[in-house]
Amino acid sequence: MKLAILILCVGLCSFTSSATAAEDPLVRREGKYLELITDLDSEQEINTIVSTFDHAVEQWVAFWNDQNFDPATFRVQAYVMRNEATFRAQGLIPIQVPDFNFGYALNQQIWIKAQPSEYYTRHLVLHEGVHAYMFDAFGGAGTTWFQEGTAELLGLHSSSGNSVLVNSIPTSREQVPFWGRFKRMEQIRQENKVPTVETVMGYRPNLLGDVGSYSWSWALVQLLQGYPEYRETLIDAAQQGADQGTGFNRIVSGALKDQWPIVSARWRLLCEDLDYGFDWERERVAISVKDPLWQGQPLELSVRADQGWQSIGVRVPGGIKIRFAAEGKITLAETTRPWISEPAGITLQYHRNRPLGQLLVCILPNAMPDNAESLEPLEIHAIDEEKLLEIDQYSWLLFRVNDAVGSLSDNQGDFQVNLTVGS
Ligand SMILES: [Zn+2]
């Protein structure tokens, strides 16, 4: 699925097939920005792909604030193939297109293998379409993580046709059958092989069907667009898309240099939590390099049940012990009847092997180990009873209630937590 940029393929593809219209198994459908050539047989699916693509393009232009977009000239030819041999027989797959597993983009032409679900076929048309768009608008899409991450970001969509919404995080697996990114991310989490930001930025081309690499590339672009303070860096970086070497990464990391410890810390949390129903409005983590150091005064704070990780507002030094005590009741509207939970959680229901509604604290170091390829697992403890925890290095402390990220919106109430220096 890589973007080929070297070859301007004027006249590469011949449409002068000897087959007559009556014999031709291929359907051609013209939209505003897309010409679809396909052997799909569902009229409805064909029309939906074209209409979805046309509306998605308008949203890509808006996302990149692309003032130079010319609707009169942008045009993509998409070959959506069930039986690849038909397309080969008609000379519709030029020799420059290598073997690929899902889709391929070459300038303004894209090739997609039809998938077992309409969603995933359409997703790949948009994904490859983003490559074509980025090439047209910016002369390329930067290095691999940016190229694939932005294609995933703007290919992932909810609804379709004229109500399509790109750049949306799916709320359920049923919404995006066969997309499979969250499943792969969870496997990689289980294997403790979640990459660092630096590892993702160093991905090389040749991502044939590597769902893991696509997923983390998407997650990094998600991070940069999910926090308003990074968004400008993301948007500006696209302008440098023709640079596909290390210079591109230097532009991005240079622009975020002062923020890098925060980017890395937020990355660790995002990689832990990104899943169906993830909602940036609840999951932005308020931490800063300027957070003052805790002086040991007793702290009292509320932890909301309907929000993601919540910082205590100060950093804590290493070499101390902290005593945690919590009380209160929250409501989790998980089922038809509300569940009332105390800090220990509800042992009738579990999320990630911990009781639902349990109060959790994450001890998140301010500094990451240098040159690590993958992330250390997060240090998370349950505050299910009074706890004394030892802090071994400068860290942020973050609380949340144990629940699926997609199930926070109907939670209510908060826990009260007290922190004192322990011994
Ligand atoms: Zn791609």
Say how many Å lie between the CA of residue 125 and the centre of ligand 1. 10
The architecture (CATH level 2) of 281-421 comes to: Sandwich (2.60)
Say how many Å lie between the CA of residue 146 and the centre of ligand 1. 10
Q: Judge whether residue 61 has pLDDT over 90.
A: yes
Say how many Å lie between the CA of residue 272 and the centre of ligand 1. 24
Quickly state the pLDDT bin for 195 (edges 50, 70, 90): very high
Say how many Å lie between the CA of residue 122 and the centre of ligand 1. 14
pLDDT value of position 7? 33
Quickly state the pLDDT bin for 41 (edges 50, 70, 90): very high
Q: Average pLDDT for residues 179-187, to the nearest whole number?
A: 96
Say how many Å lie between the CA of residue 206 and the centre of ligand 1. 10
User: Quick one: 182 exposed, middle or buried, by C-beta within 10 A (0-12, 13-18, 19+)?
Assistant: middle
Say how many Å lie between the CA of residue 85 and the centre of ligand 1. 22
Q: Average pLDDT for residues 12-28, to the nearest whole number?
A: 58
pLDDT value of position 224? 98
The architecture (CATH level 2) of 1-278 comes to: Orthogonal Bundle (1.10)
Say how many Å lie between the CA of residue 246 and the centre of ligand 1. 19
Say how many Å lie between the CA of residue 96 and the centre of ligand 1. 16
Q: Average pLDDT for residues 160-185, to the nearest whole number?
A: 96
Chain segment 116-131, per-residue pLDDT in tens: 999 999 999 999 999 9
Say how many Å lie between the CA of residue 110 and the centre of ligand 1. 10
Say how many Å lie between the CA of residue 36 and the centre of ligand 1. 19
Quickly state the pLDDT bin for 15 (edges 50, 70, 90): very low
Say how many Å lie between the CA of residue 302 and the centre of ligand 1. 43
Quickly state the pLDDT bin for 337 (edges 50, 70, 90): confident
pLDDT value of position 348? 78
Say how many Å lie between the CA of residue 124 and the centre of ligand 1. 8
pLDDT value of position 3? 47
User: Measured between alpha carbons, how far is residue 406 from residues 32, 66, 272, 279 in Å?
Assistant: 36, 32, 14, 7
Chain segment 257-267, per-residue pLDDT in tens: 999 999 999 99
Say how many Å lie between the CA of residue 3 and the centre of ligand 1. 7
Chain segment 120-165, per-residue pLDDT in tens: 999 999 999 999 999 999 999 999 999 999 999 999 999 999 999 9
Say how many Å lie between the CA of residue 179 and the centre of ligand 1. 14
Say how many Å lie between the CA of residue 101 and the centre of ligand 1. 11
Q: Average pLDDT for residues 175-181, to the nearest whole number?
A: 95
The one-letter code for the residue type at 325 is A
User: Measured between alpha carbons, how far is residue 63 from residues 88, 163, 270, 303, 310 in Å?
Assistant: 36, 17, 22, 34, 29
Say how many Å lie between the CA of residue 78 and the centre of ligand 1. 14
Say how many Å lie between the CA of residue 37 and the centre of ligand 1. 20
Say how many Å lie between the CA of residue 176 and the centre of ligand 1. 18
Residue 40 near residue 78, CB atoms below 8 Å = no
Chain segment 346-398, per-residue pLDDT in tens: 887 888 889 999 999 999 999 988 888 999 999 999 999 999 999 999 999 99
Say how many Å lie between the CA of residue 245 and the centre of ligand 1. 17
Other beta carbons within 10 Å of 66? 18
pLDDT value of position 133? 98
Q: Judge whether residue 297 has pLDDT over 60.
A: yes
Q: Judge whether residue 8 has pLDDT over 60.
A: no
Percentage of the chain surpassing pLDDT 90?
85
Say how many Å lie between the CA of residue 95 and the centre of ligand 1. 19
Say how many Å lie between the CA of residue 211 and the centre of ligand 1. 11
- Domains of the chain, residue spans: 1-278, 281-421
Half-sphere exposure of 127 (CA within 13 A, CB side): 25
Say how many Å lie between the CA of residue 127 and the centre of ligand 1. 6
